[in-house]
Amino acid sequence: MSMLKSALQADSGSQILASLLPADFRLLEEDLTQVELHVPKQLEAPDKRIDHIYFFESGFASVVANGRVRRPMEIALIGREGMTGLAVIMGHDRSPNDTYVQLSGAGQQITAAHLRQAIGQSVTLHHSLLRYGHAFHIQATQTALINGRCTVEERLARWLLMAHDRIDGDELFLTHEFLSIMLGVRRASITETLRMLADGDLIAIKRGTIAIVDRARLQKRSNGAYVPVEPDSSRIAAL
C-alpha cells in the first residue's frame, strides 16, 4: 500500500487532514466534500444531533456556551488547525454548545456516520483526531482561566491574536457587537478598549474591520494571556 499522500491531502489547507497518515486519509477521502462556509452558518446547535463534521481550510468558527446564566460567551475558536464534531470522535452525537462560522472561508465536510465508520477502522486515525481534541480542551480551559483572571484589554488582545493566527493577511471583518458577545462583556467596553489599542497603533479600525498593525506589541499587551502556537500537532490550537 502506497505511503504517499494523495493530491487532495497534499494540497489540503486543513492542518489536521494534511497531517494524517496517508492510509488514514484514504479512509476519509471518498466521503469528503469541499464546501463554502459563510457567516453566520450554524455548524452545531446545542443538544441537537451532529450530522456533519467540518475541517476548516480557511476562515474560522466560534464555539459558544449558551448557558442560562446571563449572556452567551465564546469558549474556543476553530480554524484551519481544527475541526468541528469533537463530540462524535469522543463517542457522543451532540454538544451542549453552539458552533457557527464567524469569519467566512471554506473547508471539507464529512458526515458523522462516515467519520464514525472510519475511526472504527483505524486506531491511528482516532488517536490523531483525539490529539486535536486534547488541544481544543487546553484552549477552552485556558479561555476559562483568562476570562476569570484577566482584564478586558488583555482578553481582547489575546482574542485578536488568536483570530490573526487563523487568517491570511491582517484584516478581520468583525463588529463591536460581535466581539462583545465573544468576550461576554458590554459593547461599550469593547469599543473603549479597541480605541485604546488603536490609539497605541497596535491595531487600525474601520467600520466592520479591524487590522492588526503591530502584532509583537499586541502580544505584549496581552500580558501573558496569549500563548503562541507550538509546532507540535498535539498543541496545534492556539491558546
Arithmetic mean of pLDDT, 168-182: 90
- Angle formed at CA 96 by CA 94 and CA 102, multiple of 5 degrees: 95
Question: How many CB atoms are closer than 10 A to CB 46?
Answer: 15
C-alpha span between 226 and 1 (Å, rounded)? 43
**Paired residues of 74 in beta bridges:** 64
* 180 CA to centre of own chain: 18
Q: Which of these, 158, 173, 169, lies nearest to 238 by C-alpha position?
A: 158
pLDDT over 70 (residue 69): no
Beta strands, E only, the chain: 33-37, 42-44, 52-65, 73-78, 98-111, 171-172, 203-206, 209-212
pLDDT in tens, 186-214: 999 999 999 999 999 999 998 889 999 99
The predicted pLDDT at position 128 comes to 97
The predicted pLDDT at position 125 comes to 98
Given a contact cutoff of 8 angstroms between Cβ atoms, the answer to whether 191 and 180 are in contact is: no
Please tell me whether residue 103 adopts helix, strand or coil conformation: strand
The predicted pLDDT at position 234 comes to 39
Question: How many CB atoms are closer than 10 A to CB 228?
Answer: 9
Please state which of the ranges 36-50, 55-69, 127-141, 208-222 shows the lowest mean pLDDT.
55-69
Please state which of the ranges 12-26, 187-201, 222-236 shows the lowest mean pLDDT.
222-236
Please tell me whether residue 31 adopts helix, strand or coil conformation: coil
The predicted pLDDT at position 231 comes to 44
pLDDT in tens, 123-161: 999 999 999 999 999 999 999 999 999 999 999 999 999
Tell me the domains of the chain and their CATH numbers: 7-146 (2.60.120.10), 151-222 (1.10.10.10)
C-alpha cell at 27: 479512509
Given a contact cutoff of 8 angstroms between Cβ atoms, the answer to whether 153 and 219 are in contact is: no
Dihedral, 183, 188, 193, 198 alpha carbons, nearest 10: 120
Q: pTM above 0.95? A: no
User: What one-character-per-residue DSSP string does 162-185 give?
Assistant: HHHHTSSSSEE---HHHHHHHHTS
Given a contact cutoff of 8 angstroms between Cβ atoms, the answer to whether 225 and 157 are in contact is: yes
pLDDT over 50 (residue 235): no
pLDDT in tens, 160-169: 999 999 999 9
Given a contact cutoff of 8 angstroms between Cβ atoms, the answer to whether 20 and 118 are in contact is: no
